[in-house]
Chains A and B, each alone.
Chain A
Amino acid sequence: MAAWRRIAFRLLTARLFRCKPVSLGRCAREFTSSKALRKGNDFFKDLESEMKKFHEKFVTALPGSDWTPIHMNTNLPPERADIVIVGGGIMGWAIAYWLKKKERIRDGVRVVVVERDPTYTQASTVLSVGGIRQQFSMPENIHMSLFSCYFLRNINEYLSVMNEDPIDVQFNHAGYLFLASENGAQVMEENYHIQRYLECHTPLSSDLVTLHALSQSFTDFIGRVIRDMNVTAEVSKPLDKVDIPSSDRHTAYGYAQEVIKGLEQQKEGKILCPKKRSERSGIFIDEQILVSLPYQFYQCLENEGWFDPWILLNAFRKKAISMGVYQCFGDVTGFKTSSRQMVTASGEKVDFKRIHHVIVQMPNSAEYQPVECALVVNAAGAWSGNVAQMAGIGEDSKDNILSMPVPVEPRKRYVYVFHSPEGPGLDMPMLIDNSGAYARREGLGGNYLGGQSPTEDGEPEVSNLDVNYDFFTENVWPNLANRIPSFQNLKVKSAWAGYYDYNTFDQNAILGIHPLVNNLYFATGFSGHGIQQAPAVGRAIAELILDGDFQTLDLTNLGFKRLFIGEKMLERNIV
């Protein structure tokens, strides 16, 4: 008897069945076994929270939702999507936004944007200088820039999210100033004509400071301009299929009067001397080779300047995500395709491919998810060529259309930030020299951004984004100092490098569907002017996908057809 009591006592004191707090050294937590003891005696609060959780789970588990009771990695993209956009730069998000804006019913299309790098360290969008101009030679490019400008002006109407701050892209309206040598003057005149005689009345956005002597050609040019000006000032063509917001006919009229005035002054021997203006702004133009076409004061016109592309990217991203676009961080490593062979009228066998799955691999892991999709949009920027190769374009050894690779490759460009204490002031535009060097003001403290596109044989290698400062001292600085004397005294503060998604064929965008891979769309190859065409391109691709054809801007000239025919749509105003 006593032995049993002893055992019972020992058991009792052995702390096995008692709920006593056990202190483990420094940790002073209480280990109790019962929930009720832990939370206090609040049974009803508990019940309420449990009921809430059950209610939430019940609601999400209703048919039509994605919820499964099996725990899964939430970073993976959804298993099924309607449209997968490869590439999360400005193009990808612009297309995603416009797709969601144009869908007629809520959740009409399920869009997934796959981006490899969440920090955007190598993306061309965030490393770009962010300029926007209308001085192109192709009408399509001009229209796209005009619409993008309109978009940026009314950005809060398009991209404002409720309860968020209004968007401010930090647009500097300083204009572009292209300088041309004697050889390039002819090209520039033609470009100018194209910009003026477009079916819409584009605002006068070019200031041609052409460096050629007062010759017969000069007066002829002026005469031609006036004659044609009188014609177009009266004619107003209907704008079908072109969505241009503002009509600036009055500027053309005022401009014509100015030109006439200038010509009269020229007859009397008086010409507006450019030196005065250039003294003030510090831009040196050789006085002998006079220039100053009388419309000089239209230099820094509206709708041209530079802005912050990171803000625009984030604005697109936020708005698109608020409208229901899925964002996924992962690497597209392959496509699962199927092909079907058909025979043409002439007996040739053609392989039509169709993409069924996009294989997305998670960053830093071997886990991957095949996303079943209906359409794929290739907006991968400088690496679009690789993505196209995954779909089988360019891999075939036979001599057919499928064997032709997409001619987009990354090209490295440097941008240098320098400080010059006596540099040009507030009225400095984005100056682009005839040698290709460019410079613009940055902020109010005397800092400037500059760079130059290297020649074909001097292309830097693209494996990394290291900056070559010798390029600045050898190429950029002499050209800039030649044009602006105060730049002889400058100090380089920093520099960065970024990739152009360079179209080796004709340096213009490739937009549209591939003829042989039936559900692969391309929005790439912008060669340095992608950021200024992004909103327009997004809308165009969304129209192509949802409406079947271009509705507002007709960009069929920028499609794949020209690559196969071999007809180059050259853009002559490339920086």
Chain B
Amino acid sequence: MLIVKFTFLVQVFRQANVHLQQRVPWRDCTSTTRPERTPRVSFLTRVLQLLCNRFYDIEYLVNRSQSLRNWSLRRQNSFYGYTRERYGDNVAAACYILSLGGGIRFSGEREWFWENQLGKFRGDLSHFREIPVEEVDAKGTPITYDGLNNITILSSLRTLDLSNCPHVDDWCLSRLHALSESLEELSLSGCKKVSDKGLATLHHLKKLKKLELFDLSHISNPGLIRILLEEVLPECEILGIDYSDVLKGNSLEEINKQHS
């Protein structure tokens, strides 16, 4: 029995190079473009994937690790209720953003607050109880939908920078309507999970003056979205999408067929 299992495993490993390839999502494959070869994953990842397919226990362990990651993300984005009750909304939001690794600036102040390597920040936040937060820089932070609970309570937030946040998606964007009174600058460059449906929800932000949408290559019709958004938000300046993006990779006939 052991010999049979061993030879079986050897055969399976031999077939590993053939069968184990990174999956290309189907929506990336259009008729006119060839699917790009995704970079090869490391050997260890491939072995782990193979073992997952064969053994139940390893699959269970991998699922567990994924749910642990979800749990830790949720913990990082928990609601700072106690801080809010004791010190007010602004301090709570400040603590939250700083704990994620972002930066915060209060209105009237010139300096930004950041966390350093050891997780400490300069200055005493309890002075800023009444002073509203004006700018939030959350570049690259693991902010999620639940975490936005802490930010949507800020009534006079002017700048929100959510570029390169991996977990910001359409649901998060639909929450930003709570900031519609005061938000003037928003940046969503490089957020991979944002799609055109999320951008459609930005029509609430009446005071928006600058919207940055660089590096959103996965959106299907960026030029069209820009046109429709400009129709809805006349005072807003949209950066990062060129009108000629409409024609990127697609011919004019195809677009006409799509939208007729």
B-binding residues in A (CB < 8 A) = 48, 51-52, 55, 153, 157, 162-163, 165, 168, 170-174, 245-247, 250-251, 254, 280, 297-298, 300-302, 419, 425-427, 443-446
Q: Which of A52, A163, A280, A297 contacts B49 (CB 8 A)?
A: A163
Which residues in window 51-80 of B have CB below 8 A to A? 52-53, 59, 62-63, 67, 70, 79
A-B pairs, top 7 by smallest CB distance, nearest first, are A445-B259, A173-B174, A427-B203, A250-B153, A426-B200, A173-B201, A172-B197
Q: List 10 A-B contacts (CB under 8 A).
A: A153-B145, A153-B171, A162-B63, A165-B26, A171-B171, A174-B200, A297-B180, A300-B203, A302-B174, A445-B260
B37 touches A (CB below 8 Å):
no
Q: Which of A171, A298, A425, A445 contacts B170 (CB 8 A)?
A: A171
Asked if A426 contacts B7 (CB within 8 A), the reply is no
B152 touches A (CB below 8 Å):
yes
Asked if A165 contacts B228 (CB within 8 A), the reply is no
Task: State in angstroms the CA–CA spacing of A21 and B29 once bound together.
Answer: 49
- Interface readout for B172-211 with A: 1 if CB under 8 Å, 0 if not? 0111011010000000000000011110110110100000
Asked if B177 contacts A300 (CB within 8 A), the reply is yes
Asked if A163 contacts B53 (CB within 8 A), the reply is yes
Asked if B259 contacts A446 (CB within 8 A), the reply is yes
Residues of B within 8 A of A165 (CB): 23, 25-26
Q: Chain B's interface: helix, strand, loop or mixed, by majority? A: helix
A284 to chain B, nearest CB (A): 18
B155 touches A (CB below 8 Å):
yes
Residues of A within 8 A of B200 (CB): 172-174, 426-427
Asked if B59 contacts A162 (CB within 8 A), the reply is yes
Q: Which of B63, B155, B228, B258 contacts A254 (CB 8 A)?
A: B155
B251 to chain A, nearest CB (A): 16
Asked if B7 contacts A48 (CB within 8 A), the reply is yes
Asked if A425 contacts B228 (CB within 8 A), the reply is yes
Asked if A52 contacts B177 (CB within 8 A), the reply is no
Chain A residue at minimal CB-CB distance from B221: A444
B243 touches A (CB below 8 Å):
no
Residue total for B at the interface (Cβ-Cβ under 8 A): 49
Task: State in angstroms the CA–CA spacing of A511 and B121 once bound together.
Answer: 55
Q: Which of B67, B146, B174, B225 has the largest number of chain A CB atoms within 10 A? A: B174
Asked if A162 contacts B62 (CB within 8 A), the reply is yes
Q: Which of B26, B49, B70, B259 has the largest number of chain A CB atoms within 10 A? A: B259
Known: A173-B201, A246-B146, A444-B228. 11 other contacts (CB 8 A): A52-B8, A157-B67, A163-B23, A163-B52, A165-B23, A245-B146, A298-B177, A426-B228, A426-B231, A427-B200, A427-B232
Asked if A52 contacts B175 (CB within 8 A), the reply is no
A360 to chain B, nearest CB (A): 30
Residues of B within 8 A of A445 (CB): 258-260
A-binding residues in B (CB < 8 A) = 1, 4, 7-8, 23, 25-26, 49, 52-53, 59, 62-63, 67, 70, 79, 145-146, 149, 152-153, 155, 170-171, 173-175, 177-178, 180, 195-198, 200-201, 203-204, 206, 221, 224-225, 228-229, 231-232, 258-260
B231 to chain A, nearest CB (A): 5
Task: State in angstroms the CA–CA spacing of A247 and B149 once bound together.
Answer: 8
Chain A residue at minimal CB-CB distance from B256: A445
Task: State in angstroms the CA–CA spacing of A165 and B63 once bound together.
Answer: 15
Task: State in angstroms the CA–CA spacing of A173 and B171 once bound together.
Answer: 8
B194 to chain A, nearest CB (A): 12
Residues of B within 8 A of A300 (CB): 177, 201, 203-204
Task: State in angstroms the CA–CA spacing of A168 and B180 once bound together.
Answer: 27
Asked if A173 contacts B197 (CB within 8 A), the reply is yes
Task: State in angstroms the CA–CA spacing of A41 and B211 once bound together.
Answer: 72
Q: Which of A247, A250, A444 contacts B225 (CB 8 A)?
A: A444
Residues of B within 8 A of A250 (CB): 152-153, 178
Residues of A within 8 A of B232 (CB): 280, 425-427
Residues of B within 8 A of A245 (CB): 146
A201 to chain B, nearest CB (A): 12
Residues of A within 8 A of B152 (CB): 250
